[in-house]
C-alpha cells in the first residue's frame, strides 16, 4: 500500500510539473507570436512598431536624411521590384522608378532633392529571369543592373555607371559627394567608390 501511495504521489508531482511547464510554454509561444510584443522588451527603438506596407514584397527601406520620407523597393502592382517613396506613417506611397525592368538598392541623397537606385530597365522593359531558389536564398547579379540618380520625384534619371556587369547596392556618403557600390566589372564581386 505504501508503494502505491508513493507512486501516486510521484505521478501527481510529475503531472503537475508537466502541466505547469506546458502552460508556461503556451504563454511563451503566445507572447513570441503576438504582433505587438517584442522578444527583448527593453528594446527602446521598437516600442511603437507598426506595419507600413501591405501586399506584395516590400524590402530595403531607408529614411531620408531629415527623416521625412522612406524609400523602399516593392512589388505589388508591378511584377518586378520597383522603387517607391512614402511618408514615415506609410501614407503617400508613390512610384519613383521607371516601372520597367527590376529595380533595387535605393537611397536618398543628403540634400533631400535626389535619389539613387539600381535598375535593369535599359536592358529591357520586362523582368529578368528569376534565379533558382531551390537550394536557398539567391541574389541574382543581373549584368543589366546599372546605377541611376534621379530627382526626388523620380524624374530626370541619369545613368551613373556604364561598364558591362552588375552595378548595384549603392549608398551615398553623409556629405553626398561619394557613393559606394557593388560591381562585377572585374569579373568578381567587389566594392567601388
Per the DSSP assignment, residues forming a β-bridge with 46 are: none
Among the four given CATH numbers 2.30.30.240, 3.40.50.2300, 3.40.50.970, 2.120.10.30, the one describing domain 58-192 = 2.120.10.30
pLDDT tens for 13-28 read 555 555 555 444 444 4
pLDDT tens for 96-131 read 999 999 999 999 999 999 999 999 999 999 999 988
Give the separation between CA 188 and CA 165, rounded to whole angstroms.
Answer: 10
Give the separation between CA 85 and CA 153, rounded to whole angstroms.
Answer: 9
Q: Is the pLDDT of residue 69 over 80?
A: yes
pTM above 0.85, yes or no: no
Domain layout of the chain by residue ranges: 1-40, 58-192
Three state DSSP letters for 44-60: CCCCCCCCCCCCCCEEE
3 state SS of 7 = helix
Average pLDDT, the chain: 86
**Which single residue is written with the C-alpha cell 504582433?**
35
pLDDT tens for 5-58 read 555 555 555 555 555 554 444 444 444 445 556 677 777 777 777 889 988 899
Percent over 70 (pLDDT), the chain = 80
Phi, psi (rounded to 5 degrees) for 20: -65, -45
Percent over 90 (pLDDT), the chain = 67
- The H-or-E segment that residue 191 falls in is strand 190-192
Annotate 39-67 with b (16+ C-beta within 10 A) or e (fewer). Answer: eeeeeeeeeeeeebbeeeebebeeebeee
Amino acid at each position: 500500500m505504501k508503494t502505491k501511495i508513493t507512486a501516486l504521489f510521484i505521478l501527481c508531482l510529475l503531472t503537475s510539473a508537466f502541466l505547469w511547464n506546458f502552460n508556461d510554454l503556451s504563454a511563451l509561444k503566445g507572447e513570441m507570436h503576438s504582433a505587438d510584443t517584442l522578444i527583448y522588451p527593453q528594446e527602446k527603438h521598437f516600442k511603437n512598431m507598426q506595419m507600413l506596407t501591405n501586399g506584395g514584397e516590400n524590402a530595403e527601406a531607408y529614411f531620408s536624411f531629415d527623416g521625412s520620407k522612406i524609400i523602399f523597393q516593392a512589388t505589388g502592382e508591378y511584377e518586378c521590384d520597383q522603387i517607391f517613396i512614402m511618408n514615415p506613417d506609410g501614407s503617400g506611397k508613390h512610384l519613383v522608378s521607371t516601372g520597367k525592368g527590376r529595380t533595387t538598392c535605393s537611397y536618398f541623397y543628403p540634400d533631400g532633392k535626389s535619389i539613387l537606385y539600381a535598375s535593369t530597365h535599359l536592358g529591357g522593359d520586362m523582368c529578368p529571369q528569376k534565379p533558382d531558389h531551390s537550394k536557398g536564398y539567391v541574389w541574382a547579379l543581373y549584368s543589366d543592373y546599372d546605377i541611376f540618380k534621379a530627382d526626388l520625384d523620380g524624374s530626370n534619371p541619369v545613368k551613373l555607371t556604364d561598364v558591362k556587369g552588375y552595378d548595384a547596392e549603392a549608398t551615398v556618403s553623409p556629405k553626398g559627394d561619394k557613393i559606394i557600390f557593388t560591381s562585377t566589372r572585374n569579373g568578381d564581386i567587389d566594392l567601388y567608390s
